[in-house]
């Protein structure tokens, strides 16, 4: 464990130095540069926009669209399936993997964050954090202003209501909403 790099610790879901490790800082800067390029393309430059996302993300389907602006931490931990659409102001903090299935629709102002900070002030103040992956299944609709927290899985066909804070797993086919987000009925 002592010989592990901060990136290896991050990938293992362990406590790691997010703020001062030069490799992680460099990776985030590269992602910020690509996000900057993406956010400054003209909306009509569809091929160029898609090319930037395909370079930034770990994997993508053939057809995807993210309305500008969009920001992420690393990009290389994000996978999106076929037919992915995200509206304005998408934020993905991806020290751990964030995976979206096919035909996901993300409304405006949503945040997916895999990063978590220690409750202990000393560890938090020296830049330590942990992370847990987020998985979103196929055919999921996420309403406006939703926040999805570390370690959450949202099942196939689920619908997450606007303004929800998703703190735990949501089963397939559920209509879920609230703070904290909870299933209320089956999607029709």
pTM: 0.95
pLDDT at 1 (0 to 100):
56
In a domain, 74, yes or no: yes
Q: What is the DSSP string of 52-73?
A: HHHHHSSB--S-EEEPSPEEES
Residue 76's domain comprises: 6-186
pLDDT tens string 140-182: 999 999 999 999 999 999 999 999 999 999 999 999 999 999 9
What CATH number has the domain bearing residue 15? 2.160.10.10
Contacts of 25 (CB under 8 A, 6+ apart): 19
In a domain, 65, yes or no: yes
Instruction: Tell me the C-alpha distance between 57 and 109, whole Å.
Output: 20
Q: How many residues does the chain have?
A: 188
pLDDT computed for residue 16 by the predictor? 95
10 in a structural domain: yes
With respect to residue 80, please indicate whether it lies within any of the assigned structural domains: yes
Residue 40 known to be catalytic: no
Point out the catalytic residue in the list 40, 63, 117, 135.
117
Q: Is 1 inside a domain boundary?
A: no
**pLDDT tens-digit map of 103-144:** 999 999 999 999 999 899 998 888 899 999 999 999 999 999
- Domain membership of residue 170 (yes or no) is yes
| Span 34-51, pLDDT tens digits | 999 999 999 999 999 999
In a domain, 60, yes or no: yes
- Count of structural domains within the chain: 1
pLDDT tens across 54-87, in order? 999 999 999 999 999 999 999 999 999 999 999 9
Task: Supply the pLDDT for residue 187.
Answer: 80
């Amino acid at each position: 464990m002592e010989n592990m790099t901060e990136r290896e610790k991050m990938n293992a879901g362990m406590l790691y130095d997010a703020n001062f490790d030069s490799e992680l800082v460099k990776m985030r800067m590269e992602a910020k540069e690509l996000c900057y390029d993406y956010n400054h393309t003209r909306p009509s430059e569809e091929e160029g926009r898609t090319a930037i996302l395909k370079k930034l993300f770990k994997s993508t389907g053939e057809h995807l669209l993210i309305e500008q602006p969009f920001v992420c931490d690393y990009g290389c931990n994000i996978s999106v399936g076929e037919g992915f659409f995200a509206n304005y102001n998408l934020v993905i903090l991806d020290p751990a993997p964030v995976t979206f299935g096919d035909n996901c629709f993300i409304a405006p102002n949503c945040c997916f964050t895999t990063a978590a900070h220690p409750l202990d002030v000393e560890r938090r103040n020296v830049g330590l954090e942990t992370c847990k992956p987020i998985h979103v299944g196929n055919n999921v609709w996420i309403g406006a202003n939703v926040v999805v927290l570390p370690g959450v899985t949202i099942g196939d066909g689920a619908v997450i209501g606007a303004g929800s804070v998703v703190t735990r797993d949501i089963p397939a086919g559920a209509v879920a909403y609230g703070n904290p987000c909870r299933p209320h009925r089956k999607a029709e």
